[in-house]
Structure 1
Amino acid sequence: MFWYEDEVKRLEQERSKLPYQPKTAFYGSSTITLWESLYEDFKDFSPVNLGFGGSTLAACAWYFERIFAEFNEINSVIIYAGDNDLSNNRHPEEIYLFLFQLFDVIQKRYGTIDCTYVSIKPSPQRWYLNDQVKYTNMIIEKEIKKRGDQLYYIDIYDQYLDDDHRPDSKFFQSDGLHFNKMGHDILRDKLVEHLSALVLQ
């Protein structure tokens, strides 16, 4: 896991700059890290961006205690990761296990708080992994719905497909992998609706 060290050190340095104790943590890979408008988009939810580039769900579980060490008032965690695991030749069942390991360490630290997993997106660059993406999403969604315990699944997969049911390039940067502003805006709308509903529960 040593190749994530610089990114984790960056997060440790940045956390002292927040003028408030965050309530909602966004955690995961570059879909989170590169979300430039995240703090503005979720200002009503006291957010913190704890994404680190290239991260896998395995890395998210491994570094959780260190990254979250100074955040004592978190009541909701939004997670996006998994496509890097697949591109690193991890099997869907492994990703499933890493995610539920992460849920366990979150709830060990914070109690039964809201934990939301965002489905793996389809992307032009990794379309060759599509069958694995769909299967991974399916087994994770099924287990989350079975468990409850303030675990939630947000399905974004279909939102990024064109009329031919392939990834729509208008939502992605030129690399065909990372969201552009339009891509993030769709995710923002889904998550604002979700977080607002959680507040009303």
Structure 2
Amino acid sequence: MFWYEEEVKRLEKLQKTLEYQPQTAFYGSSTFTLWQSLYQDFAPFQPVNLGFGGSTLAACTWYFDRVFKYQKSLDNIIVYAGDNDLSNNRHPEEIYIFLFQLFEKVKERYGDIHCSYVSIKPSPIRWYLNDQVKYTNMIIKNEIEARQNPYWHFVNIYDNYLGYDNRPNPQYYENDGLHFNTQGHTILKEILLKHLSQIKQV
């Protein structure tokens, strides 16, 4: 995990620069780290961007105690990670285990706050992992639904990024075939704003 150290140190310092107590934390990999307009897009929910590039769910769980130094102001944690785990040859069920370990860490620190897992996206360059992506998404979705915890949520974004041929639509990705471009982030923004508005009413 040492290769994430500089990024984690950056996140540890971030809390000292915010001018407000955050209510919604975005935690995970470069899908969040590279989201340039995140703070503006989610301003009504007082966001903090805790993404760190290349992170895995394993790393998110490992570094949780260092990154989450915020007091009881948080109402929501949005998690996006998992595709880097798969590309590092981790089994889908390992990812499943790391996620629920993370959710339990959140509960231990913050009590009952909303934890939302954003499904792993399809991406052109990692299409060879598609069966594992779909299986990972399925077992996480099924477990969240089975536990019937009103504070745990699965947010499916997978289908929104497919084209007419049921393959990733390249118009939503940077030239690397992996990261979202502005159009890709706009879709994700709309999905998450709707989700956050719905759980706020619960």
Instruction: Provide TM-score, normalisation by structure 1.
Output: 0.98
Question: Which amino acid in the other structure matches residue 111 of structure 2?
Answer: G
Aligned to 2:21: 21
SS at 1:17 equivalent: coil
Structure 1 regions of 5+ residues with no counterpart? none
Q: Quick check: 1:112 aligned with 2:112?
A: yes
SS at 1:152 equivalent: strand
Equivalent-residue separation in structure 2 for 1:166 and 1:70 (angstroms) = 40
Q: CA deviation at 1:10?
A: 1.0
Equivalent-residue separation in structure 2 for 1:53 and 1:122 (angstroms) = 18
Deviations, residues 40-86 of structure 1 (Å, cap 9, x unaligned): 00000010000000000000000001000134311110000000000
1:77-156 residue pairs with structure 2 within 5 A?
A: 77-149=77-149, 150-156=151-157
Deviations, residues 140-186 of structure 1 (Å, cap 9, x unaligned): 00000111221000101010011000001100001000000100010
Q: CA deviation at 1:106?
A: 0.6
Question: Which amino acid in the other structure matches residue 108 of structure 2?
Answer: K
Equivalent-residue separation in structure 2 for 1:157 and 1:199 (angstroms) = 23
1:1-201 residue pairs with structure 2 within 5 A?
A: 1-149=1-149, 150-201=151-202
Query: Is contact 1:33-1:51 (8 Å) kept?
Result: yes
Equivalent-residue separation in structure 2 for 1:173 and 1:114 (angstroms) = 31
Q: CA deviation at 1:199?
A: 1.2
Q: Aligned-pair RMSD on alpha carbons?
A: 0.7
Query: Is contact 1:22-1:71 (8 Å) kept?
Result: no
Query: Is contact 1:82-1:120 (8 Å) kept?
Result: yes
Instruction: Provide TM-score, normalisation by structure 2.
Output: 0.98
Q: CA deviation at 1:13?
A: 1.9
Equivalent-residue separation in structure 1 for 2:122 and 2:71 (angstroms) = 32
Deviations, residues 118-148 of structure 1 (Å, cap 9, x unaligned): 0000000100000000000000000001112
SS at 1:18 equivalent: coil
Percent of aligned positions that are identical: 64
Question: Which amino acid in the other structure matches residue 57 of structure 1?
Answer: L
Equivalent-residue separation in structure 2 for 1:23 and 1:65 (angstroms) = 17
